[in-house]
Structure 1
Amino acid sequence: MNKKFGFWSIVLLTINGIIGTGIFLSPAGVVKVAGTYTPLVYILAGLFAIILAITFASAAKYISKNGSGYAYSKAAFGNEVGYYVGITRFAAGSIAWGVMATAVVRTTLGIFGGPDAQTQGNITLGFLILMGILLAIVFSGSYITKIASNISTIGKITALLVAVFAGLAIFLKTGQNNFMSINQAVDTAGELIVKPMDASIFVGAILAAFYAYTGFESVASAASEMEEPEKNLPKAIPLAIGIVALIYVSVVSIAMIINPEGILNSTEPVILASAFLNPLIKNIIIYGAVISMFGINIAAAFSTPRIFEAMADEGQLPIFLSKKTKQGVPLFAFLVTASMAIAVPMAFQYNMRGIMIISSVSRFIQFLVVPMAVIMFYYDKNKEPKIETAQKMFFTDVVIPILAFVTSAFLLYKFSWADQFSMVNDNGETVVNTYAICAMIIGYVILPIGVYIPYKMGLYKEKKVVSSSNRSVS
């Protein structure tokens, strides 16, 4: 029951952690901005993601411990940097899990019950049921989690491939190519939906598409549950990103060819399904969307608690958080993570737009620190032990991380801060987004300080856990 993730299971887990709600629920968001440039936008965003993925994969060959960005940052720069990266990533991961769980419940209620079913009570009930199912799956051990993850990944890929091949069949049968008509699509008021393109709009579209690729950075958080992570992760993560990019570009392109206005003017819970008129195809895509969202919740439930476990193993959090069940599940770390994932959406009444900024910005922290960590590993400047037998490559360990750092800095500079800290109220007025401000303060100030002070006071029992593959000191 504790059989570890092999190479292809790691590939599927990575795909599962990336493909979630975006490609099913909101392809119109990028299409409205980029128009006919949408496929190119997804290709460029995928290239950005691959650069970052190779960087994380390079870090994984030097450090095979749990924690992903936390483990890499701590090994390269020491306790303080690692601590901050770890605790903010944990907060972001927990809240992101809550956001994804809320998305599953809302979409499911919208599909089977309509808009009237999305009441606070129904959402809360559905939310708790979903979290209970996820807890049961993960507590069954790595083997059951792996099976559930693999099945959900195959299910979502199948649904997307059905969309691609069905759309291709429709195009070949009708001979109609509506791809260019996207620029003439109008809304209910008769206004053009896609505005004229300029450089800033194009960059904004790439940024929007880039977020559809995030999730790969959390895969290595559970490295101890994988077979030979130092060998398999560097190969599995880039391969998974490439597969996802191919699927994204194919799905968006074929939908724009057969029915772009159906996507742009859709009012259905699963927007991608609006490109098709055939009920069977629509249902396959709709159920695939539900499977996809459920699968990404499994990935979050599996990976996120391992961050706290890794920090507890290193003596930076209370030691009880590293305690595992017979199935290898970090019991208390999981319960703390699940509690935050449940409590935060409920506290904010499931209005998640304001606090999603934590999930977004925390990725940039990792995307800036981890590339520099890889360079430190390459030049043997790390503060803590790394795998000495790791094969060094200047291109993947220096050149690519530099590109990753520059790309991340550019994305952070272009991040829409104004949009995140403002929102439109029920009266149509733009007001300060207090949800986002509270989320930033809690996630980046209160939580890190609150758990760091006891650590500096020596109240946490240190438990240095180093795998046999990591014992060689540089």
Structure 2
Amino acid sequence: MNDKKWNLQTIVLYGINGVIGSGIFLLPGSAYDHLGPASLVAYLFVFVLVMSIALCFAECGSLFEQSGGPYLYAKQAFGDFFGYEVGVMKWIVSIIAWATMAVGFSTALSALIPQIASPVLQKTIAIGIILTLSLVNLLGINIMAYLNNIATVAKLIPMLVFVLGGIWYVEGANYTPFIPSDLTINSVSTAFIIVFFAFTGFENLGVAAGDMENPKRNVPLALIISMSFVSVVYFFVQFNCVGILGADLGGTKTPVADAMGHVWGSNGLLLVTLGTLISIGGLNIASSFNTPRCAQALAEGRLLPKFMMKNNKYNVPYISVLITGGLAILLTLTGSFVELAAISVISRFSQYIPTCIAVPVLRKKNPNHAGYKVPFGIFVPVIAVVASLWLLANADLFKLAAGLGAMILVAPLYILMKKYSSVENSRP
């Protein structure tokens, strides 16, 4: 049996890969539309808000050796029902996100190869991606770690080239006036939400803790390192886009590509296009690894059938991998990704808020734990909860209703699973 664990370097790269995606290649123009050059400030504020939430995840993660992430934290702090809600929603959202990213990859590829632009070919490619990654996943965590490291480093190359090389082409006049004259509270909140969602994905880091070396130490440390790195990269991507394109940044759908094209011509455009493909491909790799382990963690907690936790000779939950991949493939055939994605947006906060509230609860239950502790008492968790509620209050009403509706719909399944577990436990 192959039971080699991920080291800190691999965990950090996994965290970076899970956050940096196609959003940063498309984000700067939208943020500029609402705040102009002051969009740079949004990154600083959102960094503080996201780090507050990430630190709560870091403290909770330092208490556990096993996989599970937000589900495990909620379960230990508030009981099986809340753990079930968080865990099942995470699994559902992760499946939807994986299917969407698989189709996103084929869509981005069609921009480079127009011959595959038809919906049938794009869905065929998306299904091929899910099938291939599921099969690779079945061969063991070392292969997944290897692919994850390659994808993370490869996607960072064009981004770092842009950050380090583009800074020499910025023009100071493009940062004035720094604050738009028509700035409104609505513009500020909208920009904050846009930027905030570009940082999401860090919550996945603790999901596969059971496959990592010394997770009580390495999960919180990797969270802090990876999110700090991502924040610096994001800030300078925005800084360069503003400095190179100026007012032309507003309204563009491919801001980084436009900025690179402005500086380095067609070669710059090609580099960013390849970076986008690698970025989305990297997220597909991360999803193929962590999404089945959401189901495995729920099965270990007796909230999904126990056959979902069975491992093959490579210590991989093969039934969870096959079922998750099959459901993702079915979703690629429905074509309803836009509607389903609305649920994933709000349901992320069903992981953030319980985890932040769990910090003081788990401290009381484990007063002498030697793991990482968020500084300043409960101040940081309170800030994180308030920030999350503020973002929810400013979310689209349809997305809010869809997210809450999904949580209500899965609630009755909890009763069925409890009965199933009782029957299983009563068998000789």
TM-score (norm 2): 0.91
For 1:370, the aligned partner's letter is T
5 Å matches for 1:1-150? 2-113=3-114, 117-150=116-149
Shift of 1:165: 2.2
Deviates more, 1:32-41 or 1:334-343: 334-343
User: 1:383: which partner in 2?
Assistant: none
Q: What CA distance in whole angstroms lies between the structure 2 residues aligned with 1:159 and 1:462?
A: 54
Shift of 1:44: 1.2
5 Å matches for 1:196-345? 196-266=182-252, 270-277=254-261, 278=264, 279-345=266-332
**Alignment RMSD (CA, Å):** 2.5
Shift of 1:261: 4.9
Alignment partner of 1:461 out of 409, 424, 428: 424
**Which of the pair is proportionally richer in helix?**
2
Is residue 378 of structure 2 the alignment partner of residue 415 of structure 1?
Answer: no
Q: Secondary structure of the equivalent of 2:348? A: helix
Tell me the alpha carbon deviations over residues 157-183 of structure 1, each in whole angstroms, 9 at most, x when there is no partner.
Answer: 111111112212334xxxx44523799
Tell me the alpha carbon deviations over residues 49-79 of structure 1, each in whole angstroms, 9 at most, x when there is no partner.
Answer: 1111100000011122211010111111111
User: 1:468: which partner in 2?
Assistant: none
Q: 1:395 to 1:387 in 2, by over 3 A?
A: closer
Alignment partner of 2:340 out of 335, 352, 355: 355
User: 2:407: which partner in 1?
Assistant: 444
Q: Secondary structure of the equivalent of 1:276? A: helix
Contact 2:131 2:325 in 1 (8 A): no
Q: Secondary structure of the equivalent of 2:208? A: helix
Q: Secondary structure of the equivalent of 2:82? A: helix
Q: Secondary structure of the equivalent of 1:304? A: helix
Tell me the alpha carbon deviations over residues 93-150 of structure 1, each in whole angstroms, 9 at most, x when there is no partner.
Answer: 111111111111111112221xx74322011111111112211332221111111111
Is residue 363 of structure 2 the alignment partner of residue 368 of structure 1?
Answer: no
Q: What CA distance in whole angstroms lies between the structure 2 residues aligned with 1:308 and 1:182?
A: 50
**Number of residue-to-residue matches in the alignment:** 422
Shift of 1:210: 0.2
For 1:337, the aligned partner's letter is T
Q: 1:415 to 1:368 in 2, by over 3 A?
A: same
Q: 1:392 to 1:462 in 2, by over 3 A?
A: farther
Q: Secondary structure of the equivalent of 2:113? A: helix
Contact 2:57 2:203 in 1 (8 A): yes
For 1:352, the aligned partner's letter is F
Q: 1:392 to 1:36 in 2, by over 3 A?
A: closer
User: 1:430: which partner in 2?
Assistant: none
5 Å matches for 1:428-439? 437=402
Q: 1:393 to 1:169 in 2, by over 3 A?
A: closer
Q: What CA distance in whole angstroms lies between the structure 2 residues aligned with 1:342 and 1:406?
A: 37
Alignment partner of 2:385 out of 392, 396, 405: 405
Q: 1:354 to 1:178 in 2, by over 3 A?
A: farther
Deviates more, 1:353-362 or 1:238-247: 353-362
Shift of 1:392: 6.6
Contact 1:87 1:448 in 2 (8 A): no
Q: Secondary structure of the equivalent of 1:3? A: coil
Q: What CA distance in whole angstroms lies between the structure 1 residues aligned with 2:256 and 2:200?
A: 20
Q: Secondary structure of the equivalent of 1:395? A: coil
Contact 2:59 2:373 in 1 (8 A): no
Q: 1:460 to 1:364 in 2, by over 3 A?
A: farther
User: 1:390: which partner in 2?
Assistant: 370
Contact 2:148 2:285 in 1 (8 A): yes
Shift of 1:196: 2.1
Q: What CA distance in whole angstroms lies between the structure 2 residues aligned with 1:389 and 1:454?
A: 32
Q: What CA distance in whole angstroms lies between the structure 1 residues aligned with 2:367 and 2:134?
A: 34
Tell me the alpha carbon deviations over residues 175-219 of structure 1, each in whole angstroms, 9 at most, x when there is no partner.
Answer: x445237999xxxxxxxxx88211221122111100000101111
Shift of 1:302: 0.8
Q: 1:208 to 1:455 in 2, by over 3 A?
A: same
Shift of 1:362: 1.3
User: 2:174: which partner in 1?
Assistant: 179
Q: What CA distance in whole angstroms lies between the structure 2 residues aligned with 1:260 and 1:119?
A: 35
Q: 1:121 to 1:51 in 2, by over 3 A?
A: same
Identity between Structure 1 and Structure 2 (%): 26
Contact 2:65 2:210 in 1 (8 A): yes
Q: 1:392 to 1:130 in 2, by over 3 A?
A: closer
Unaligned stretches of 5+ residues in structure 1: 185-193, 381-385, 422-435, 464-474
For 1:275, the aligned partner's letter is A
Q: What CA distance in whole angstroms lies between the structure 2 residues aligned with 1:180 and 1:64?
A: 47
